[in-house]
Amino acid sequence: MLNDLLLPMFDDDYYPQILVAEIKQYIVDFSKKIQVSVKEESEIYQFANLTLLKINEMKAEFEDLDSSLDDTATDYIAEAMMMVVQNAGYMDIDLEELVARREW
């Protein structure tokens, strides 16, 4: 499942592959944290916030490479994070709350 994260972004030349790979790694790290460390659902949102803070910092890097974290990217990233959460067995997580800290 983790291999399939962000495939549409990898397939789209608009998004720099190196930056998409970095985002994917952040989401893989998020996955590992929730599988090992979560005792309450509220912790998932805390880990998601930390992941999104890292991704938020990448906004300028995308712009430097004539790209952006646009609405489409937002959807792909949110979908990937939700897949990770559901794969860990948490089916009642609110998607909007999960990605509430995004700044893109």
Give residue for tokens 């916030």.
49
| Chain segment 6-46, per-residue pLDDT in tens | 999 999 999 999 999 999 999 999 999 999 988 899 999 99
Predicted pLDDT of residue 104: 72
The token pair at 59 is: 């906004």
Q: How many CB atoms lie within 10 A of CB 17?
A: 11
pLDDT > 80? residue 52: yes
Indicate whether this model's pTM tops 0.95. no
**Whole-angstrom Cα distance, residue 44 to residue 82?**
11
